[in-house]
Structure 1
């Protein structure tokens, strides 16, 4: 395991949130409706309060460009941005144990607005990335037609593609190119 379990979960959730934006590689917004948001939150294991209204959906959607930016910042700029997110949220990290997850850190209460919890969870995960000197694990999908972000948690740092099937498409493309060359 590269990072603590909660850090890996937060990085995966931030990655999934960023990649739900049509500015990514898919070209399709997968967070258009409240039902989409509920499905996303359930898939990512988000606990805590949910208002379920249009404002909450829009606030979560509005997080995506700012989080995407984190993948492309150098260390100093990333530290500055993460610190700003935590300061804006008046984050106060505390150890918590709920829902059988074991001890982990929450920096804002579970009844804080969803978009705030999501931003702070991502920021706390990026704190660990910076502290561990692992910025090179933050990547963009290597497929030519995709701009999705990737967190490479592989042991040998070899992950190149996002989870939208780009790796399979690139392998098929390479196979067909080889077949044509023969």
Structure 2
């Protein structure tokens, strides 16, 4: 997937955001969780965070999740267009915090939710425009609901993380084969 550094980073951010809702504990349960997310993902230009920001980002997370799990391209486009239609997009070139020149799509006074909606929404839009929607995936492990962007050359990735879900599923398959072999 030949996307620029900032597009790859925005896609990783949207995956991280959606996955805050996929675990046993809601990763955006408290304002402190949102502050930690903003810091971890280096969301620039965010000053103070409010309960309203938390509610807006949680709603945004659900909209992004709907793009990943849309049954078809038409639905994904409709959901993303609705989200982008509510976002003030003001592209500008910037260099900051040691990052190379890249494009920010959010308006200068945007809330954190609008910031994420613009930057991450545009990144997802590029995936759809490039006809790469099949790269937006949900982990194939039966006990995992994390999403990911399959950046493999041949679009073969099926697990959110090969070290955890992938390894766990491969070990389970090996043990099942061994049990069948031992039973025969």
Aligning the two structures, in what range does the TM-score lie when normalised by the shorter sequence?
A: 0.7 to 0.9
1:3 paired with 2:10, answer no
- Which of 22, 41, 44 in structure 1 is aligned with 2:41? 44
What residue ranges of structure 1 are gaps of 5+ in the alignment? none
**What SS does the aligned partner of 2:18 have?**
helix
2:15 alignment partner in structure 1? 15
Q: Deviations over 1:77-122 (max 9, x none)?
A: 3333323322211212222222232222212234310011111112
TM-score, normalising length: structure 1: 0.87
What residue ranges of structure 2 are gaps of 5+ in the alignment? none
Shift of 1:153: 0.9
User: What is the alpha-carbon root mean square deviation over aligned residues?
Assistant: 2.0
Structure number with higher relative contact order (C-alpha < 8 Å, ≥ 6 residues apart): 1
1:170 alignment partner in structure 2? 169
Contact 1:71 1:139 in 2 (8 A): yes
**What SS does the aligned partner of 1:95 have?**
strand
Shift of 1:133: 1.4
**What SS does the aligned partner of 2:103 have?**
strand
Q: What are the equivalent positions in structure 2 for 1:91-170 lying under 5 Å apart? A: 91-163=89-161, 165-170=164-169
1:60 alignment partner in structure 2? 57
1:31 paired with 2:28, answer yes
2-structure distance, mates of 1:110, 1:2: 28
**What SS does the aligned partner of 2:137 have?**
strand
